[in-house]
Structure formats: C-alpha cells, structure tokens
C-alpha cells in the first residue's frame, strides 16, 4: 500500500510550534505531530478521515505540550 | 561542489527500491516509537526498538556485545551483510544504531537519506507484513570506544579546553529555558549547557525533506560556528540520539577525525552535582 493524500503543516499549539503530518494508508488516516524544534514526534493518531486523525493527534499533542515548563532566563 | 567525505555511507530512497531483491542487503527500521513500524514499513525491513533492543534495559548503556550478536543474527544480518538503516524522528535513532554498529565493528552500514519521513512523503510502498525470519551467524568486534565519549573524558576536556563541544539540542534547551524538548518529560535537574559548547541544532544539517545538506553547506555551518576539527570534536544532546545524527555528519559527511558521541549527554551532565553549567545563549 502507498501513502496517499500526504500533507504537512505547521501551527502553534499550547504556545509551541507543532508540525502535523497526515496521510492515508489503506482505509485509515494516520497523523503525527512533532515539536518542530527539535523535531521529536510527540503524538501519533489514526482516524477514518483526515480531520479525525488530525484532531486526535492535536488533542494528544496539546496534552503533552501543556506539561512543558518554561524557566526564565536572564540574558 | 565538494562531495561528502564518505558518500558511500548514504543511500537514497531510489537506491533502496532498486536493490529491493538483493539478498546481501538487510533494511532495518529503527524507531523510538515502534507503532510507526507496525503501521507500515519498507518491504522485508526488520524493525528495531531503540529503547529495548539497542539499549541495555538495566543499566544505562548500549547493549552488551553478546546481545548485539544475537540481535544481528536474529535479524538475518551476517558480518558481510550490507545494512541500510532508516527510521522515525528524522533518522535520529537510525543514526544511533549506525553508531552502535560501528562500535561493534560492522563493516558496511549506511543510512537511507531522509529516513521514514521522506519515504512516506514520496508515496512509496509500505507493508505491514512481517519481515522474513532471520538466521545468520554474527561475530562482533570488541567495542571500539574511540567514537564514544564518557563523562570523565568530557569533564577533563572542558577543564583543559582540549575539545570542541557541539550541543545539537534546540536553542531553548541550550539556554536552559526548557529542560526537555516541548512535550517530552523532563529528565534533568538543571537546564543549560556544558561550558564552551557551541549550539548547532541537528536540524541545521538537513533540508526540509530530511535529507542532508550539501558538503559545502555543512562545512560552512560548522566552521561558521567554530567547529573545525583542529581538536577532537564531541557531540552531545539530551540522550545521545540527536548527537548520533550530528556525529554522523561530522565524521562521515565532513570527514573530521576524532569525532565522538557523548551519549550520556545532558541527562547525565545536567543531573551531576558540582559540575559547571552555563545558562543563557
């Protein structure tokens, strides 16, 4: 099977840039979210439609990003 | 345009397709999240889980030689097999695997340029079929620690100014603004970086599609930040996987000598009592 309907976009989520990649494999849509800098995958989800997979992955990513603590730096 | 110092260490996605039936080659997907492999992988590719199959699950270390030999043999990899590695997270863990294969002396191991991300973006075939069972004989060399740095060496080099340190984490991790990449668990007590380290995030070595930048661009990137290889070069990150990626660039694409991966990285240094830490950019 070949990945179809591949798309990639970057948005801001919980104050952090996030890249969402989604594609269809067989009958299922798959989506991943990474944190752009440094680029680690932080969530993966699947769904019957592209929208469903992306909404699910963004919800998971938002939950994980909300745990990130920022420490003030005196430059 | 200059070529890479060791262009034979990279293969393209086209090359993998063209060599699909070659029995002297074994393709391995290396993931930190093996659900990626389960979702679909290159036909006949074996799947390795970085955290359980390439790392010792009791003490923090690479797997022992005996376990490595078993992994290779059970994956159908003999001493003369050409191993092609690719994986998730922009080949970070595939690069770790390559570093580990070199530690144990595997002769012919290469990275698929662009990794899983590029393969999928190109719409290439994936399968959920299990790879054919492997049965090979494998004898590993004793560990070559010349490509690995341990804490005492790094600590000594910092004090003596005898190494060029490359911190390949994001600028926010380098400055200490965050203690781990956004969305990942904090695994250190202090944020910041090792004194004297230059911040050259791993991604600066890559194009948008995940492939490596040209030799000229890489040379300009590292030399522009003061990494020239006139002293031994030590790459580090948080847990040693991103720095494996940069180690690969420095050693095989730019051809610098004396490049090591400090896999203890920030999760070691940032948890130590009494070592110097620099905060801020």
pLDDT in tens, chain A (75 residues): 999 999 999 999 999 999 999 999 999 999 999 999 999 999 999 999 999 999 999 999 999 999 999 999 875
DSSP label of B206:
B
Blockwise average pLDDT, block size 10, chain B, 281 residues = 92 98 96 93 97 96 98 96 96 98 98 97 96 89 98 97 98 97 95 98 96 98 96 98 98 97 98 97 89
**Which two structure tokens, joined as six digits, stand for B56?**
């010792």
pLDDT at B135: 81
Residues of A with CB under 8 A from a CB of B: 1-4, 6, 8, 16, 21, 23, 25, 30, 34-35, 37-44, 46, 61, 64-65, 67-75
Cα–Cα distance for residue pair B62/B66, rounded to 1 Å: 11
Q: What angle do CA A28, A44, A1 make, to 5 degrees?
A: 35
Task: Give CA B189 to chain center in angstroms.
Answer: 24
ipTM of the complex in this document:
0.94
Distance from CA of A60 to the nearest CA of B (A): 10
pLDDT at site B1? 63
Task: State which H helix or E strand residue B119 sits in.
Answer: helix B115-121
Contact A41 B201 (CB under 8 A): no
Place of tokens 């926010």: B172
C-alpha closest to that of B192 among B212, B167, B158, B216 = B167
Domains of chain B: 7-143 (3.40.250.10), 146-269 (3.40.250.10)
Nearest-CA distance B105 → chain A (Å): 29
Nearest to B105 by CA among B71, B139, B54: B139
Contact residues, chain B, for A24 at CB < 8 Å: none
In this structure, the strands spanning A16-25 and A4-13 are antiparallel
What does the alpha-carbon distance between residue B172 and residue B176 come to, in Å, rounded to a whole number? 6
Q: Report the gap between the CA of B116 and the closest CA in chain A (Å).
A: 12
Cβ within 8 Å, pair B178-A1: no
Residues 6+ apart with CB under 8 A from B257: B229
Q: State both tokens at B217.
A: 């661009």
Q: Contact B178/A69, CB-based, under 8 Å?
A: yes
A75 and B203 in contact by Cβ < 8 A? no
pTM above 0.95, yes or no: yes
Question: Are the Cβ atoms of B182 and A1 closer than 8 angstroms?
Answer: no
The Cα of B139 is separated from the nearest Cα of chain A by a number of Å equal to 34
- Enter the DSSP assignment of B238: S
Nearest residue of A to residue B125, measured between CA atoms: A2
> Residues near B241 by Cβ (< 8 Å), separated by ≥ 6?
B32, B50, B89, B92, B93, B95, B96
Q: Give me the pLDDT at residue A75, please.
A: 59
- Residues of chain A in contact with residue B176, where contact means CB-CB under 8 angstroms, are 71, 73
- Residue B133 has what pLDDT? 79
Name the token pair of B269: 């240094």
What residue in B sits closest to A38 (Cα-Cα)?
A: B170
Disruptive mutation site among B51, B88, B182, B193 for chain A (greatest number of A CBs within 10 Å): B182
Q: Do B126 and A21 touch (CB under 8 A)?
A: no
pLDDT at A74: 75
Of A16, A42, A73, the CB nearest to B280: A73
């Amino acid at each position: 099977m070949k990945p179809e309907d591949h798309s990639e976009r970057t948005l801001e989520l919980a104050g952090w840039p996030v890249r969402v990649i989604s594609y269809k494999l067989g009958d299922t849509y798959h989506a991943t979210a990474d944190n752009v800098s440094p680029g680690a995958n932080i969530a993966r989800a699947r769904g019957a439609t592209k929208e469903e997979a992306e909404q699910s992955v963004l919800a998971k990513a938002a939950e994980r990003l909300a745990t990130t603590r920022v420490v003030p730096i005196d430059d | 345009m200059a070529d890479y110092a060791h262009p034979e260490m990279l293969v393209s996605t086209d090359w993998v397709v063209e060599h699909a039936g070659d029995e002297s080659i074994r393709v391995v997907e290396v993931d930190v999240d093996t659900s990626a492999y389960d979702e679909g992988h290159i036909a006949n590719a074996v799947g390795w889980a970085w955290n359980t199959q390439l790392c010792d699950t009791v003490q923090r270390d690479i797997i022992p030689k005996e376990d490595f030999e078993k992994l290779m043999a059970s994956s159908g990899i003999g001493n003369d097999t050409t191993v092609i590695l690719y994986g998730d997270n922009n080949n970070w863990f595939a690069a770790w695997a390559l570093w580990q294969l070199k530690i144990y002396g595997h002769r012919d191991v290469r990275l698929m340029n662009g990794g899983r991300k590029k393969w999928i973006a190109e719409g290439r075939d994936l399968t959920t079929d299990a790879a054919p069972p492997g049965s090979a004989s494998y004898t590993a060399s004793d560990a070559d620690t010349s490509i690995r740095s341990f804490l005492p060496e790094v600590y000594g080099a910092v004090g003596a100014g005898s190494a060029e340190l490359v911190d390949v984490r994001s600028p926010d991790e380098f400055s200490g603004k965050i203690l781990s990449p956004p969305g990942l668990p904090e695994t250190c007590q202090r944020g910041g970086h090792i004194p004297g380290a230059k911040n050259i995030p791993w991604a600066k070595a890559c194009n948008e599609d995940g492939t490596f930048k040209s030799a000229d661009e890489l040379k300009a990137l590292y030399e522009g930040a003061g990494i020239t290889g006139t002293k031994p070069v030590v790459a580090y990150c948080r847990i040693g996987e991103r720095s494996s990626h940069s180690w690969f660039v420095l050693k095989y694409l730019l051809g610098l000598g004396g490049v090591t991966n400090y896999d203890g990285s920030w999760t070691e240094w940032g948890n130590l009592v009494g070592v110097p830490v620099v905060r801020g950019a």
